[in-house]
Structure formats: C-alpha cells, structure tokens
C-alpha cells in the first residue's frame, strides 16, 4: 500500500490539472432545420422560439438589430431557449433574398441574413427602381424563373456577390425548385397554423404569440414560458 501512494498522488495531481470540459456556446450554435429555417441555440431547449421574418420588413430589421443580441446573451446562451428564424415570403424581393440565404451553409446563411436586415435600405433600392416594363417581363416568365430574373434586374445578385454569394452561383440558387417549395410551405404554415397577420410573427413551443412584434413584448412571454412546467 505504501508503494502505491506515489502513483496515487501522481494520478490525483493529473486529475486536478485536467481542464474542465468547455460548455457548449449555445448562443453561437447554428443549424439548419427541416423546414429550411436557421436554428440558433440548444435544439433540446425547454422553450423553442420561432420567428417568421421578412427581409423587407422594417419591424423585422428592428428586432434583429435590437432584440436578437439580448435574446442571445440572456436566453440562448443558457441553453434553455432556442431560436429558429424562418423566412416569410411576402413579395418578390423577399423570395429572391430568401433563396440566396437558403443556398448557403447554416453559419454563412445566418451572417448573410444579418446583412440583408442591416443593409435593407440599400439592396431594396434596386427593386424600387424597376420599371413597369421590368415587372411585366418578369410576370410573363415561368414562376420558378422569376426570382433569378428579379435578382438580375434589381442588382440583388451583384449585391450578394460582394457579400459572399458568388455571382456565378446565384442563378442555380434562385432557380432551386426544392428551396422554392420549402419557402412556400413555410409561408403556408405561418398563415394557416400561426395565423400570421404581419411580420415578425412569433411562436413559442408551437403556439402563436399574437400581437407581439418587438423584443419589449416578446421577453415577458419567454420568461413566462421558462417558468411554466415543461410541455
């Protein structure tokens, strides 16, 4: 027993010197969801927050700039809340922008989505400058070809090229029929099951949160959900 003591002491010292396992950085954990959304946080979180957002919506831009940082720091980081952003297509520019987001891996997709919100006033100018002739020409095309043509005529594809989506790749992204179908399915889900009346629209654990469009109104709902028994 005496002979084994030095070995035991060495083992104890080694265990003490072993660093603790790092905690998961949930606030910076990003994954794609089956619906085509972007999930930030712990997928097994008690409270699952969903946002239906439009990239051309000023209130959505405000939430992502002022509310999302607080959501990440105070709630997502704990692992108790997850946040899924789903693109709600409300117009042609939304459709084109959402397809460019959907064409990327989760982390760059989230970064690109942030740029769409941050520079909303810049990239939408090209769509506002489109003429009646432009719109007529686009409307005459097959539906699946319209997003790519809109991106070309508005300059969105060139704007995206400078922000990580190569110009040569955009046509395939914008003509992706499977991605188009997923976005339209998300739109239908929002209108049918979440009774969407405007953007952003939020849901907590699959239940719509009516009348809440900003962080000030959303945070109390999250706090209440955290205090309630686990569903």
Nearest to 116 by CA among 128, 104, 98, 95: 98
Q: Give the pLDDT confidence of 170-219 residue by residue, as tens digits.
A: 999 999 999 999 999 999 999 999 999 999 999 999 999 999 999 999 99
Residue ranges of domains in the chain: 26-120+177-227
Distance between CA atoms of 153 and 155, rounded to whole angstroms?
6
Query: 26-120+177-227 maps to which CATH number?
Result: 3.40.30.10
The predicted model scores a pTM of 0.88
Q: What is the structure's pLDDT at 5?
A: 55
Do 37 and 84 touch, CB atoms closer than 8 A? yes
Residues 79-126 have pLDDT tens digits of 999 999 999 999 999 999 999 999 999 999 999 999 999 999 999 999
Question: What is the mean pLDDT of the segment spanning 50-54?
Answer: 98
Tally of residues, the chain: 231
- The whole-number average pLDDT for the span 133-156 is 97
């Amino acid at each position: 027993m005496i002979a084994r003591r030095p070995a035991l002491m060495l083992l104890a010292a080694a265990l003490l010197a072993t660093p603790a396992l790092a905690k998961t950085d949930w606030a910076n954990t990003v994954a794609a969801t089956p619906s085509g959304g972007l999930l930030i946080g712990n997928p097994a979180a008690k409270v699952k927050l969903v946002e239906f957002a439009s990239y051309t919506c000023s209130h959505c831009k405000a939430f992502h700039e002022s509310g999302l940082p607080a959501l990440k720091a105070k709630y997502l980081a704990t692992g108790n809340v997850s946040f899924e952003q789903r693109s709600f297509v409300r117009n042609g520019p939304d459709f084109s922008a959402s397809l460019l987001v959907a064409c990327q891996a989760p982390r760059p997709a989230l970064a690109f989505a942030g740029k769409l919100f941050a520079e909303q006033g810049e990239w939408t100018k090209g769509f506002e400058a489109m003429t009646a002739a432009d719109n007529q020409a686009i409307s005459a095309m097959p539906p699946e070809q319209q997003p790519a043509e809109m991106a070309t005529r508005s300059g969105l594809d060139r704007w995206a090229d400078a922000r990580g989506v190569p110009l040569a790749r955009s046509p395939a992204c914008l003509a992706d029929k499977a991605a188009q179908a997923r976005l339209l399915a998300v739109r239908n889900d929002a209108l049918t099951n979440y009774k969407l009346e405007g953007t952003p629209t939020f849901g907590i654990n699959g239940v719509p949160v009516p009348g809440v469009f900003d962080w000030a109104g959303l945070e109390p709902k999250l706090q209440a959900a955290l205090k309630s028994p686990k569903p």
